[in-house]
Structure 1
Amino acid sequence: MSSRTIRALALATAAVLASTALAACGSDEEKASTSAGAGAEAETLRLGYFPNITHAPALVGVNKKYFEEALGTGTKLDPKTFNAGPAAIEALFSGAIDATYIGPNPAINGWSQSKGTALKIIAGSTSGGAGLVVKEGINSAADLKGKKIATPQLGNTQDVALRAWLKENGLNADQQGGGDVSIQPQDNATALQAFAQGAIDGAWVPEPNLSRLQLESKGKLLVDEKTLWPNQEFVTTHLIVSQEFLKKYPGTVKKLLQGHVKSVKYIETNNAEAQKAANDQLAALSGKPLKDEILQAAFKNLKFTHDPIASSLYTSAKNAESVGLLKPVDLKGIYDLTLLNEVLKADGQPEVSDAAA
């Protein structure tokens, strides 16, 4: 059995055992800048991302070949797509991918399950662009009692956000679809169809599905998630990497971050062209581009940033704990922004912080 397979099995076992013993910690000694062989590069970088506008830096980076250009001829880019975070974390654990764009709660779960050994958050990507869309006649949290609401996947970022919001409003929802509100995790395409057909009463989803539910199915935005956060900013998507990959190939990770920074910068300075690039990539993945009105509405509702907005990650962890989807966990060491700040500094941009507040 190869050492890679042994490590993958060990991580998978850690994920199972974590439900009874969750205590994670990180060491500053693991920072990428102190890793041996800082210029080491991998033959292949397997990068995960989702076919959502909240992952626009990934969509643009793949479409415009910014990642491939940054990696150069020595490393092949192997992009892979996922519907929601838990599946991407499983792929990271098994060794099927090396890095992925992902939401905060799956990253927190992965950190917790592996006792701080599986991953590092290495960059921010996206803020905002999620919320609860409902059918007409639902005007408050109280009106949701007895209703069916979809989320992308049990334990994903939007699922936790919905459960925490319901709890704050005196409503309960269990993990089996029971309680005051029946939460029904399902992939985004299914949720869109189910809402249009009246099979569900609403959905807490990310863009572009947030805009699609409103513009295509005449849904009503009951909760814009950014209004629940300080300064209306919270992490929707960030970039994580396998700790094993980071330690072995910091040179490749730095080049990945160079591509990421270039992609975010392109979105900031060429927004219309970036929208087209993101939509072209969505079309390549799904066979169907978004309508212009959906695309424009989704981009307007999002902020793309290198800043991981770390304070919101810690709050998301507390929310997951409060709804029974996470045991108490120490998140110290979950960030390693060393290489990102090197890239930002070289590009003349301000560095970012992993401070909790």
Structure 2
Amino acid sequence: MPSSIRTHSAIAAAGVIAALLAGCAPAAAADGGGNDGGPISELRLGYFANATHAPALVGLHGGHFDAALGDLELTAHAFGAGPAAIEALSAGAIDVAYVGPNPAINTFIQSGGESVRIIAGAASGGAALVVREGIESPADLAGTIIASPQLGNTQDVALREWLADQGFETDLSGRGDVRVTPTANAQAFRLIQQGDLDGAWMPEPWASRLVLEGGAHVLVDEAELWDDGAFPTTLLVVRQGFLDAHPEAVKALLEGHLAAVQWIARNPAAAAVAINDAIAAETGAPLGDAVIDRALSHVDFTVDPLAAAFPALIEAGVRQGTQREGSIDGLFDLGPLNDLLATRSQARVSDAGLGAE
């Protein structure tokens, strides 16, 4: 791993802010200011050790961030789900994070547009409802217990919305026709194998692990629910205060992010090995070759955040009670990314009229 990058193992959602503020991020202010004033010597990044966060893993372990940031040290913190990462971001314990769209939408609306900006896409696709043997149709889900990674995260909202479309009632306390229970992916994997859960709406590589190692099967591939199969799964977001105070640091991180995404696209075979090596370094064990190959075949890595999909995501979150209504005008700030794309003679990405300017 590049010498200027320090990583910290996954931190549980409970107590994440106390852990980061007390230990990993001593400079963070109690009011959430964090690195928002004066010179900085480090940039603090949040991410997941998932296949859908491959640009983060490749950027960290492949040296792309290190090359782009130069003397600026990158401290990386692994999380298990988006709401926990957003909590740390909002408290000023980290500066930038790879997260799903729903947590980014939630914090933006709750803060009145002052909390974060989406500065790039990272991944599209790579999520599915995977269920045990005996469940062959939506009707078979009546009375079952289905997991999502965390209440209000992107897969949680997708699961609740799909269940509602099938005529099932759910609620946020885990009751209803189908009981939705937010459960960390690793724990859900074990519980389904043990017969204590009936399925889960999961990101990759967990969906592929359940199919290939857990005797489960896919009931719904989320790509089937979107036009052209494209929907935002992972985004790169930055605290607004950090972006205002340190635009050059953000641009440098974007350079590393863009380099990682492009390297993955140009080197698919090597990328599968590199991503699996990074997951092994993060979790202590590599995935099976068949698992990583299947997982990556369901994910498209792109810097396009697919902004046009966001109104539908908001409507779904409001319907399911995981977020309140509000405007997302200004949620995207794609200017720095588009400047970098222009220098490479590559097409601009659209903010669908939801940009900061």
TM-score, normalised to structure 1, is 0.89
**Offset of 1:5 from its aligned partner?**
2.5
**Alignment deviations for residues 87-137 of structure 1 (CA, whole Å, 9 cap, x no partner):** 000000111100000000010111112111110000011000001011122
- SS of 1:239's partner is strand
Q: Distance in 1 between the 2:111 and 2:29 partners?
A: 16
Alignment-derived partner of residue 250 in structure 1: 247
**Offset of 1:6 from its aligned partner?**
5.0
For residue 115 of structure 1, what is the amino acid of its counterpart? G
Work out whether residues 28 and 93 of structure 2, in 8 Å CA contact, stay in contact via their aligned partners in 1.
no
1:79 aligned to which of 65, 76, 80 = 76
Alignment-derived partner of residue 336 in structure 1: 333
Alignment-derived partner of residue 69 in structure 1: 67
For residue 70 of structure 1, what is the amino acid of its counterpart? A
Question: Does residue 1:148 correspond to 2:145, yes or no?
Answer: yes
Q: Distance in 2 between the 1:345 and 1:153 partners?
A: 37
- Structure-2 change in CA distance of 1:313 and 1:348 (3 Å): same
**Offset of 1:7 from its aligned partner?**
3.1
Alignment-derived partner of residue 224 in structure 2: 227
- SS of 1:180's partner is coil
Work out whether residues 44 and 76 of structure 2, in 8 Å CA contact, stay in contact via their aligned partners in 1.
yes
1:348 aligned to which of 326, 345, 350 = 345
1:5 aligned to which of 29, 52, 56 = 29
Question: Does residue 1:89 correspond to 2:86, yes or no?
Answer: yes
- SS of 2:321's partner is coil
Work out whether residues 32 and 93 of structure 2, in 8 Å CA contact, stay in contact via their aligned partners in 1.
no
Question: Does residue 1:112 correspond to 2:136, yes or no?
Answer: no
Alignment-derived partner of residue 20 in structure 1: none
- Structure-2 change in CA distance of 1:6 and 1:195 (3 Å): closer
- SS of 2:29's partner is helix
Work out whether residues 121 and 335 of structure 1, in 8 Å CA contact, stay in contact via their aligned partners in 2.
yes
- SS of 2:31's partner is helix
Q: Distance in 2 between the 1:251 and 1:277 partners?
A: 28
Output the aligned Cα RMSD. Answer: 1.9
Q: Distance in 1 between the 2:41 and 2:31 partners?
A: 19
Q: Distance in 2 between the 1:41 and 1:228 partners?
A: 46
- SS of 1:176's partner is coil
Q: Distance in 1 between the 2:196 and 2:322 partners?
A: 26
Alignment-derived partner of residue 49 in structure 2: 51
Alignment-derived partner of residue 30 in structure 1: none
Q: Distance in 2 between the 1:57 and 1:231 partners?
A: 22
Q: Distance in 1 between the 2:289 and 2:310 partners?
A: 32
- Structure-2 change in CA distance of 1:295 and 1:4 (3 Å): closer
Question: Does residue 1:288 correspond to 2:272, yes or no?
Answer: no
- SS of 2:189's partner is helix
Question: Does residue 1:259 correspond to 2:256, yes or no?
Answer: yes
* Structure 1: gaps of 5 or more residues: 11-39
Mean CA deviation greater in 92-101 or 342-351: 342-351
| Stretches (4+) displaced over 2 A | 2-7
Percentage identity across aligned positions? 48
For residue 195 of structure 1, what is the amino acid of its counterpart? I
For residue 340 of structure 2, what is the amino acid of its counterpart? V
Which structure 2 residues correspond to residues 111-190 of structure 1 after superposition, within 5 A? 111-190=108-187
- Structure-2 change in CA distance of 1:3 and 1:303 (3 Å): closer
Question: Does residue 1:317 correspond to 2:314, yes or no?
Answer: yes
* Structure 2: gaps of 5 or more residues: 1-25
**Offset of 1:220 from its aligned partner?**
1.2
Alignment-derived partner of residue 272 in structure 2: 275
Alignment-derived partner of residue 236 in structure 1: 233
TM-score, normalised to structure 2, is 0.89
Q: Distance in 2 between the 1:4 and 1:210 partners?
A: 36
- SS of 1:5's partner is coil
Q: Distance in 2 between the 1:151 and 1:93 partners?
A: 23
Work out whether residues 42 and 252 of structure 1, in 8 Å CA contact, stay in contact via their aligned partners in 2.
no
